[in-house]
Amino acid sequence: MTPVHFSFSSAFILGLMGLAFHRTHLLSALLCLEGMMLSLFIALALWALQFESTGFSTAPMLLLAFSACEASTGLALLVATARTHGTDRLQNLNLLQC
Amino acid sequence: MNPYVLMILLSSLGLGTTLTFASSHWLLAWMGLEINTLAITPLMAQHHHPRAVEATTKYFLTQATAAAMILFASTTNAWMTGEWSITDLSDPLANTMFMTALALKIGLAPMHFWMPEVLQGLDLLTGLILSTWQKLAPFALIIQTAQNIDPLLLTLLGVTSTLVGGWGGLNQTQLRKILAYSSIAHMGWMIIVIQYAPQLTLLALGTYIIMTSAAFLTLKMSLTTKVSTLATTWSKSPILTATTALVLLSLGGLPPLTGFMPKWLILQELTKQDLPIIATTMALAALISLYFYLRLCYAMTLTISPNTTNSTTPWRTQTTQASMPLALFTMATLGLLPMTPAILTLTT
């Protein structure tokens, strides 16, 4: 495992841990998701350098476009949740439990 | 919803699944999954209601996490081996992570908690899309990679899914939650056999899609979401009530109906592979599921609801809903068992 591999893996796993265990605000969950996507962006961009593959340089751009779409969907849902529930705290999302 | 917007969303839904089907590169497969998630999100949140928005948020968070984990697993594999093709997922760590993410995506047992809540917040047609069409793309990926995944992990996921799917549905009164637990149990049946006979997994997926479409369309036709409403459907449309009971028993897997076919073949395959204990556990777990289907049938056909119906005989009036898909799916749900030899010949 190279240092680069270790660093983006630990960044991803920290983001995942934050998403799984820090459950107070929806906004912090979305930020953790975005952090995971950015660590994947680093991983894909450096993979093309590491393996010297020229045909792979568009992949990080595609990933970035999709993660931007995902982040904007998440923010739209944040607004919708704030309008229907009055808050963005995740503990208020309890209407469907039983 | 505006019909043009609806058309764009539905065609993106189709595009996402087709992209995952057609791809051999992990990045394209991930893009297909993402398109699927992004396209169904507006469909789920189209009624601006607290429950719908909450269900959409929960669905979005789980699916986005699962998709990111899938891409991370394939990136790890690419850093280790330099391979991006789907069938070459050879790194064991990447394999396990991929299977966990996929279990989160389709709602297998330890990662199933989002499934009943999300399905409870949706209307019945979106719930139908969620529990049928959205399962196809993840299954296309798992069929291609299943041979490399640790058998112990797959067996654990399958057995816990069937057990939890039976157990969770026991005390429910909401029909959509019951259908969600039934989906979890059926996913367990599909996963348990995937390494021994992938064509049986596809067969089980196909019959599950037929049966659950029939169930959702029936509920949509009679506008029921609770057991108590289901108990008064006999006054709305008597024939639909009779077929509803049979559709539910078919989902439970009773012999003369279609639902028996995948269970029978999977149990036979497990016995052939010398796994009698797992086969017995699966059969017993199917009994727990059968209990709540039977309870629904009991409430619907063997009891008379204590409240009187004040409406004027609704079965006399023509319905405005399209009934042809319901008729087709119900016929397939009730009568495909004699086709078993033909289907087996075609798939193996």
When pLDDT is cut at 50, 70 and 90, the band that residue B48 belongs to is confident
Q: What is the ipTM of this complex?
A: 0.95
B123 assigned to some structural domain: no
Domain tally, chain B: 1
**A window 58-87, beta carbon within 8 A of B:** 59, 62-63, 66, 69-70, 73-74, 77, 80-81, 83-85
Is B324 exposed, middle or buried (CB count within 10 Å of its CB: 0-12, 13-18, 19+)? exposed
Q: Are A18 and A28 in contact (CB under 8 A)?
A: yes
- Unique residue bearing structure tokens 């240092």: A3
Please give the residue that has the higher pLDDT: either B234 or B71.
B71
Distance CA B314, CA B294 (A): 26
B287 assigned to some structural domain: yes
Distance CA B295, CA B152 (A): 34
Instruction: Give the Å distances, CA to CA, from B275 to B156, B204, B212, B266.
Output: 13, 19, 29, 11
Distance CA B55, CA B115 (A): 9
Domain span including residue B251: 149-305+322-345
Domain tally, chain A: 1
Tokens of B159: 């057995």
Close Cβ partners of A87 (under 8 Å, ≥ 6 residues apart)? none
Tell me, what CATH number does A77's domain have?
1.10.287.3510
pLDDT tens digit sequence for B227-284: 888 888 877 788 888 999 999 999 999 988 999 999 999 999 999 999 999 999 999 9
Domain span including residue A53: 3-95
Residue B312 reports pLDDT greater than 70: no
Distance CA B201, CA B199 (A): 5
pLDDT tens digit sequence for B149-204: 999 999 999 999 999 999 999 989 999 999 999 999 999 999 999 999 999 999 99
pLDDT tens digit sequence for A5-21: 999 999 999 999 999 99
Distance CA A12, CA A66 (A): 17
- The shortest CB-CB distance from A51 to any of B57, B68, B82 is to B82
B137 assigned to some structural domain: no
pLDDT at res. A98: 66
pLDDT at res. B65: 95
B268 assigned to some structural domain: yes
Chain B CB contacts of A93 below 8 Å: 54, 57-58
Mutate to test the interface with A, among B15, B61, B76, B100 (most CBs of A within 10 A): B61
Tokens of A42: 């680093």
B310 assigned to some structural domain: no
